[in-house]
Amino acid sequence: MEMAHEEIRQAYQMLGQEATAYDGMITCSTFFGRMICKLVWDMNKADNDRYLQLALSGIPEDFAGKLLEVPVGTGVLTMPVYRKLENADVTCLDYSADMMATAQKRAAASSLSHVRFLRGDVGALPFEDERFDTVLSLNGFHAFPDKEAAYRETFRVLKPGGVFCGCFYIRGENRSTDWFIRHFYEPKGFFTPPFETAESLNKRLESLYTSVTLETVKSMACFCCRKRKKENAS
């Protein structure tokens, strides 16, 4: 397990140092980014924007509670969101200090004093049970080495009634994407199997959460669900 963590850390250390290329890819906005989006994901900018919008749809515009984002990466997708959530209390966590350094610079440039950063492992979150109103995870579960621990920990730190939402790669939607993942992303340590399918993810979320919505955009699964309230809670 430690080895897997180290390989993933090194892979994202390299990406963190190439934050501009990474950001262009994840937002499908630069020439290089658009090429990768099309070639690997069969997505154009509209598809890319659509999956992000779905993944973030669990966070209301006036959200004012405690939110955990894991993994934050370079923060390119979420710092613009947090600029508008000035009454929220946001904690961002990532395993890679290099990826997160870019996110921290972004937050500082916009004076986001309600956003804090913590380096850590999603499989051993340094928070007490039921601390957060929302847990957001964008493009994380396909990278995490110990997915069972990640599901367990994100569930544990969420309050009953709280929202778990985000997106990640699922296999079985597009053969060409699956091929690129297996032959390029896995060997580089960016993605780590086993991967969910739409069916297995839906089943897993249904077993843990209530009000599950799951929508796919190409090979990206976007989900939103709620942790059940306790039986005797009003």
Residue nearest to ligand SAM (CB): 73
Q: What are phi and psi of 53, to 5 degrees?
A: -60, -40
Closer to ligand SAM at the Cβ: 53 or 211?
A: 53
Min dist. Cβ of residue 234 to ligand SAM (A): 35
Min dist. Cβ of residue 222 to ligand SAM (A): 12
Min dist. Cβ of residue 212 to ligand SAM (A): 21
Element housing 78 (H / E):
none
Residue 61 to residues 15, 139, 184, Cα–Cα distance (Å): 31, 21, 37
Question: Which residues of this protein are in contact with ligand SAM, per CB under 6 A?
Answer: 8, 12, 26, 70-73, 76-77, 94-96, 99, 121-123, 138-140, 143-144
Min dist. Cβ of residue 87 to ligand SAM (A): 23
Asked whether the beta carbons of 59 and 136 are under 8 A apart, the reply is yes
Closer to ligand SAM at the Cβ: 135 or 138?
A: 138
Q: Which runs of consecutive H residues, i.e. helices, occur in 27-156? A: 31-41, 45-55, 79-84, 97-109, 147-156
Min dist. Cβ of residue 11 to ligand SAM (A): 8
- Rg (the chain; Cα; Å): 17
Q: Which runs of consecutive H residues, i.e. helices, occur in 58-109? A: 79-84, 97-109
Closer to ligand SAM at the Cβ: 72 or 221?
A: 72
Closer to ligand SAM at the Cβ: 6 or 199?
A: 6
Under the phi-then-psi rule, with left for phi > 0, alpha for psi from -120 to 50, and beta for the rest, what region is 73? left
Closer to ligand SAM at the Cβ: 14 or 198?
A: 14
Token pair, residue 115, equals 């956003």
Q: How many CB atoms lie within 10 A of CB 77?
A: 21
Asked whether the beta carbons of 151 and 126 are under 8 A apart, the reply is no
Closer to ligand SAM at the Cβ: 14 or 161?
A: 14
Min dist. Cβ of residue 121 to ligand SAM (A): 4
